[in-house]
Amino acid sequence: MVHISDGVLSPEVWISGYILTSIILFFTTRKMRVEDVPKVSIVTSAFFVASLIHVPIGPTSAHLILNGLVGVLLGCYSYPAIFVGLLLQALLFQHGGITTLGINTLDMGIPALISYRIFKLKANPINAGFACGLAVFLAVLLTSLVLILSGKEFYEFAEIFFVAHIPIAIVEAIVSFFVVSMLMKVRGEMLV
Amino acid sequence: MRILIFLIILLLIPVNAHRMYVDYKINEIEVYAWYGGGESVVNGNVKVYRSDGSLYVEGKTDENGTFRFKPEIGETYRVVIESMGHRAECNVNLSKVVVREEPMYLKVVSGLGYLMGLAGISLYVARRRR
């Protein structure tokens, strides 16, 4: 639901999305170490598959995003991870689009970075759950803003759009809570 | 004379009764929109364009994700369906309609394969740089 398809946005919007995304990609991948590559790939594959889990809600359906969890687990590498995950989703599932890749990465990557910041404030599972739930709403908010910027008649859907993501946010908060509490017990050093 | 007419009618009736006609008429085209994985698109905005690009008809998909419209024979249509930022289109050619989707598990497996490949390439590049 937060994946915007090709042809929906005006060229100015998606081109500026690409520009912003490439700037952020440059800064977030600069410090990447060799040791991080396997972890980033595993979390990216989880993100890639998560969008297939659909939750039917009223007239629409929403799916898991997991951008918050990616943020908490990967820190600033979450941005390239989300970029690659979205690229594969666009190519293989036609979920999202190639022209809108920049904007979609922005919509999901910025909340991921924010949730990482929140998690860093207090590194415990409850805070991780909260950060991940919040990331879903931030992603929805950013997507709505982009659609409105593109002059889409979106106001009538905005409410459904937000309501549909309440259960998603709850599910993601619970999932993240358990993932983070398990990782803290088993391998605390994995959480950056 | 009467007998002759009677005979002619008698001969004609069975001939007429065996004559049968078949013809066809296309009344409606049903388009169907769904999200990857099979969830149907409810209340999506549908726009149908003629081959010259002009708008032919517009409407919304029902609870099964379907939308019906009356076509003109010999015309090809481009059907565009939009719903909350999602957009998909297909061409309706009255001689054939083909929509195919590969099985989901194949897509998932190939995606994971790409990711492993990417990880491998980046590890390789990083190692050579050292």
Minimal Cα distance from B45: which residue of A? A153
3-class SS shares of chain A: helix, strand, coil, % to 5: 75, 5, 20
Query: Would A110 be classed as within a structural domain?
Result: yes
Percent of residues, chain A, with pLDDT higher than 70: 93
pLDDT at A56 over 80: no
Query: Would A2 be classed as within a structural domain?
Result: no
Binary contact (B84, A7; C-beta < 8 A): no
pLDDT at A103 over 90: yes
pLDDT digits (tens, 9 = 90+) for A148-161: 887 766 666 677 77
Note down the domain range covering A133: 11-190
Residues of B with CB under 8 A from a CB of A: 35-37, 39, 42-43, 63, 80, 82-89, 104, 107-108, 110-112, 114-116, 118-119, 122-123, 126-127, 130
CATH topology classification for B26-99: Immunoglobulin-like (2.60.40)
Cβ neighbours of B42 in A, within 8 Å: 59-60
pLDDT digits (tens, 9 = 90+) for A156-180: 667 777 888 888 899 899 999 999 9
Give the pair of three-digit tokens for residue A158.
């905005």
- Residue A97's CB is within 10 A of a number of other CB atoms, namely 23
Cβ neighbours of A60 in B, within 8 Å: 42-43, 83-84
> How many domains are there within chain A?
1
Q: What is the pLDDT of residue A60?
A: 64
Q: Identify which of A86-90, B48-52, B86-90 has the greatest average pLDDT.
A: A86-90
CATH number at residue A26: 1.10.1760.20
Ordered by start, the domain boundaries in chain B are 26-99, 100-130
CA dist list (Å): A61 to A108, A121, B118: 18, 33, 31
In terms of pLDDT, which residue wins out, A86 or B34?
Answer: A86
pLDDT digits (tens, 9 = 90+) for A71-101: 999 999 999 999 999 999 998 888 888 999 9
Q: Hey, of A41, A140, A160, which one would you mutate to test binding to chain B, going by the most B CBs within 10 A of its CB?
A: A41
Query: Would A3 be classed as within a structural domain?
Result: no
Give the pair of three-digit tokens for residue B77.
């249509």
Binary contact (B111, A45; C-beta < 8 A): yes
Cβ neighbours of A143 in B, within 8 Å: 85
3-class SS shares of chain B: helix, strand, coil, % to 5: 35, 30, 40
Residues of A with CB under 8 A from a CB of B: 1-8, 34, 37-38, 40-41, 44-45, 48-49, 52, 54, 56, 59-61, 84, 88-89, 92-95, 97, 143, 147, 152, 154, 157, 160-161
Q: What is the ipTM of this complex?
A: 0.72
Strands A54-57 and B29-32, by their bridges, are unpaired
pLDDT at B63 over 90: no
Q: What is the pLDDT of residue B3?
A: 67
Binary contact (B111, A92; C-beta < 8 A): yes
